[in-house]
Structure 1
Amino acid sequence: MFLNLLRRVMARRAKAEKLELSADRDRRDLLMLSRRGLQILPFAALLALALTAGPARAVPSFAIQTGQPCAACHIGAFGPQLTPYGRDFKLHGYTASDGKDHGLPLAVTTQASFTHTAQPQDGGAAPGFRDNDNFAIDQLSVYYAGQIAPKLGGFIELNFDGVAQRAALNNVDVRYVSEGQVLGQDLLWGITVNNNPTVQDPWNSTPAWGFPYNQSSLAPTPTASTLVDGGLAQRVVGVGAYTMWNDLLYLEADAYKGLTAPAMTALGQVPEDGEQTTSFIPYARVALIKDWEKHHAEIGAYALSANVVPGGNQTLGFMVRKTDIAADATYQYISDPAKVTSDRLSAHATYIHETAKMHWDDAFALGTLADHWLDTMRFDVSYSFAATVTPSVQYFRTTGTGDPNYWPTLNGSPNSDGMIFEVAYVPWGKPDSPFPNMNVRFALQYVNYFRFDGSTAGASRNNNVYFSIWTAMKF
């Protein structure tokens, strides 16, 4: 079992904008030009490093450790979408290797982008950015990704957000694994320590690694989302146990503890921007798996429950009990299992039902309902041609209880739905790549809203075009 994992990075250059005649516009454009000039410097440095670096594929330290190209573990030769081999590598604790000493498993990625929205955003898309047509260095990440000791491995990401201008500890998943037999069948079991429910999951049908694998931080997004859908990412720490029996049944149980506001701040998070909790949070996962000839299928469920204070001062500090119960499914077709560059069809689906309950006197004080529900559904399909060109399409929908004193939308409705269309191009990351010292992913994405924050009128104003470049290399 071999593989590599996740995310990549990228590069790009920014073009200076013409200065406006107005003094206010003049000062703003000068400020942005200086900012973009600074962005070019790390891009140029990373490019120079790439030209001299050793072989790098996907999260490069995984590829170097296993001796396999990106396409062996990732659909489309670039993470995070996993092949069966990639899932195997993750389940076995990121420990598979070619037996050679490659030093510390360090890697670096960058991401650069251009975002155009259908309508300009008053006041700018984000502090320091224009109201439309923005270039950005989205992020710079450094990873420790690979084996730590026999049977012990991990994925640890330190991230600099180029839009928010903030450094933080991002996704963490450290595992200990072992193998045995139960009832005469193979049993894999492991312990995971992580900071984001579903980041440890080996299927791309759960939220942490689900499609779209990246999207613009400079385009509007719907207000409402469920707790398990990223609401606790990097805001908790947890430990869990998982097992895979007979390559058929996957079971997992985790217990998370919410981080205090000072702890989140120390790790680079902004406590008020999202859900806050210091309670213990149970999480459970079950999945049935079947692999045969050219096919892989998975169907499963996952759930968690927590007392949280919603971010953005949504409930003025009052506690809400949120319980999420979800179902998911994955299907993959591999045209030629003997070739890592064979065409591959992938489909993922997830459905999340959330109940949110407040104490009746807290709800009365806010003038809101005590009970709310929120449903999220996503379904995506992609087809990877020769692990090089991968078009994808997704339909997404969120619906829930309307309440103008609970949801911070114009009409008090959380309902949104739409579609995402994307084409990704990865020229390298395959065996005998002519440029083996790095990998890069170019992607063009279009987001189309049918309904946005409860309204169909003007929903298309939030439509956006997002062009991104991820580049990954050995550190």
Structure 2
Amino acid sequence: MKMISFLFKARGALLALMGGLVLLSSLDANAIPVFARQTGFKCVACHVGGEYPQLTALGRYFKLTGYTQGDAKDIFGEMTTNLDRAPFAVWLQASKQWYANTQPGGINGNAPTSQFSGQTISLFTGGHLTDHVGAFIQWTAAKYDGLTTSSTGPTAPLNWTVSIDNSEVRVADHRVNKSGDWIYGAYINNRITMSDVWNTQENWTSDWIGYFNAGFNGVTGLAPTTELQSGSTQHNNVGVGTYLYKDKTWYGELAVYRKVSNGPLSVFTEGVDAGSAPTLNNNLYTRFGYNKEWGPHELFIGLHGLFGSGDPYGVNIGTTANPITFYSSANNQATWQDMGIDAQYQYILDPHYFSAHFRLTHENMQNSAPLVGGTVANANNNLNEYWADMTYIYKAKYGAMLFFHGARGSSDTVLYSSGVSGSPDWDSIMPSIFWSPYQNIRIGLMETFYTRLGGTTSSLITNPVAGSGNLSPHSFNTTMLYGSVIY
């Protein structure tokens, strides 16, 4: 009966999606965003099966050469007479989410659970600025954004928040001479791993869709991630980096990231709540890898790392009604060393598109004395975070994805207080299917299954918010039906 009820509800939401699709189908089917207008390339040229954000070899080349390819004069020089090629794009997403557990009292955070509604709106601009300088700029209005919004439970009103999103400026060049094929450059951006062109790092993995709320409001430490791969470090830290790509084979990158609150670079953190995200001192980000392309195949194997210090827990944003305790109440310091291996495989031969990614990141963290006994129990903690995914797309229209994400680490009864004996261990599986009737429209269904949370696979997680007994990992399983259009 539950399955029949769910299918009936899903049908209603799908009809709403289809109604929107009929309206959107009146748009030019060839309409594609900023970079496609600049280059004249179709989506499938730069994205695997046309599905962003996964990049093909051409997409990687476009980004590494600073977003400068294409007829920039037509975009910028003649914008007043060629408005259909203006250097702007807008991305809209709406969704409906269903939770396995719907207990009152804030356990499901501030995610929508009862109606199909708008979730995010992003405005993009950028592209060619000069022959060697280009940009990628994104602003996002989000209805359910933990970095800029706090909630006292699902009954509290939430306003849309607007802040800068993934943004980057690059200076780059490409030269071919007797010593080889060289692409080199430098960048300024506002998120660690934004520079990634192999889609193995957190910022550009394929589960990007949606500002997906996993329902952990008030239940802390159930699914921790490393400092390098954490989404909480996004957009309130600014990095300056340089990179080199030789013979389409060897890649190296070094960057330094730190907290920026004022000065000219603070434009990269505009709108982000400084108190709700970690603050970084000078942190060194490294990336080295080997790439091989042959026929329709491509293979990348790399190393990644983040070495630095800061306040990884931000500041206290908890309230009596919403007792979030994951953030420290003072500017207490910790140091960390994150190191890992990652890999990508692609097969691209129309009508078949396939890709797979893997990442394993090991973190050692040393907590300062003021943190011990308050925010954490241990002076030293470690965490091993893993990620793997597979994607298959047919005719650049029909696709399926499967993701695996989780972690293992040292127990900490304060930091991971909701887990069994302070365990941070967790595992999840996320299958997804989608349909793209037009290259700029996507409709999909995504399911998140938690098989382990807080170190347990059974009903041993205490619910500190609702006070209604124990929850199992399956209580946080989430289904999401979404539609997105980018134009």
* Structure 1 contact 141–158 (Cα < 8 Å) conserved: yes
Matched, 1:109 2:91: yes
**1:321-360 alignment, distance < 5 Å:** 321-334=335-348, 336=349, 341-360=350-369
Structure 2: 5+ residue stretches without partners: 1-11, 80-85, 146-159, 217-221, 317-325, 459-471
Q: Which residue in the other structure is 2:385 paired with?
A: 376
- Cα distance in 2 for residues equivalent to 1:240 and 1:397: 29
Distance 1:402 1:269, change over 3 A: same
* Structure 1 contact 76–426 (Cα < 8 Å) conserved: no
Q: Which residue in the other structure is 1:72 paired with?
A: 45
Distance 1:405 1:96, change over 3 A: same
Task: Report the secondary structure of 2:165's partner residue.
Answer: strand
| CA distances 1:321-351 after superposition (whole Å, capped 9, x unpaired) | 12211210000112x3xxxx43111000001
* Structure 1 contact 146–153 (Cα < 8 Å) conserved: yes
Q: Which residue in the other structure is 2:429 paired with?
A: 419
Moved over 6 A (4+): 46-50
| CA distances 1:376-423 after superposition (whole Å, capped 9, x unpaired) | 101111111111111111122211111112224243221110211001
Q: Which residue in the other structure is 2:120 paired with?
A: 139
Using the size of structure 1 for normalisation, the TM-score is 0.81
- Cα distance in 1 for residues equivalent to 2:214 and 2:99: 6
Q: Which residue in the other structure is 1:3 paired with?
A: none
* Structure 1 contact 118–463 (Cα < 8 Å) conserved: yes
Deviation at 1:265, TM superposition (A): 11
- Cα distance in 1 for residues equivalent to 2:256 and 2:101: 43
Q: How many matched pairs?
A: 417
Distance 1:265 1:151, change over 3 A: closer
**Residue type of the alignment partner of 2:423:** S
| CA distances 1:231-287 after superposition (whole Å, capped 9, x unpaired) | 32101111111111111101111112212399699712122322123x211111111
Residue 414 of structure 2 is aligned with which of 405, 408, 412?
Answer: 405
- Cα distance in 2 for residues equivalent to 1:367 and 1:216: 28
Residue 283 of structure 2 is aligned with which of 270, 281, 289?
Answer: 281
Task: Report the secondary structure of 2:228's partner residue.
Answer: helix
Matched, 1:149 2:137: no
Q: Which residue in the other structure is 2:226 paired with?
A: 226
- Residue identity over aligned pairs, in percent, reads 27
Name the stretch that deviates more: 357-366 or 301-310: 357-366
Task: Report the secondary structure of 1:461's partner residue.
Answer: helix
Task: Report the secondary structure of 1:228's partner residue.
Answer: coil
**Residue type of the alignment partner of 2:53:** P
Name the stretch that deviates more: 237-246 or 318-327: 318-327
Q: Which residue in the other structure is 1:28 paired with?
A: none
Residue 172 of structure 1 is aligned with which of 167, 171, 177?
Answer: 167
Structure 1: 5+ residue stretches without partners: 1-14, 17-38, 430-438
* Structure 2 contact 164–269 (Cα < 8 Å) conserved: no
* Structure 1 contact 264–271 (Cα < 8 Å) conserved: no
Q: Which residue in the other structure is 2:31 paired with?
A: 56
* Structure 1 contact 82–203 (Cα < 8 Å) conserved: yes
Q: Which residue in the other structure is 1:260 paired with?
A: 261
Residue 94 of structure 1 is aligned with which of 67, 80, 95?
Answer: 67
Deviation at 1:468, TM superposition (A): 1.0
* Structure 1 contact 223–408 (Cα < 8 Å) conserved: no
Distance 1:115 1:470, change over 3 A: same
* Structure 2 contact 119–210 (Cα < 8 Å) conserved: no
Using the size of structure 2 for normalisation, the TM-score is 0.79
**Residue type of the alignment partner of 1:209:** W
Name the stretch that deviates more: 318-327 or 211-220: 211-220
- Cα distance in 2 for residues equivalent to 1:365 and 1:464: 32
- Cα distance in 2 for residues equivalent to 1:213 and 1:54: 24
* Structure 1 contact 195–234 (Cα < 8 Å) conserved: yes
- Cα distance in 2 for residues equivalent to 1:441 and 1:326: 33
Matched, 1:467 2:467: no
- Cα distance in 2 for residues equivalent to 1:182 and 1:405: 58
* Structure 1 contact 136–162 (Cα < 8 Å) conserved: no
* Structure 1 contact 236–257 (Cα < 8 Å) conserved: yes
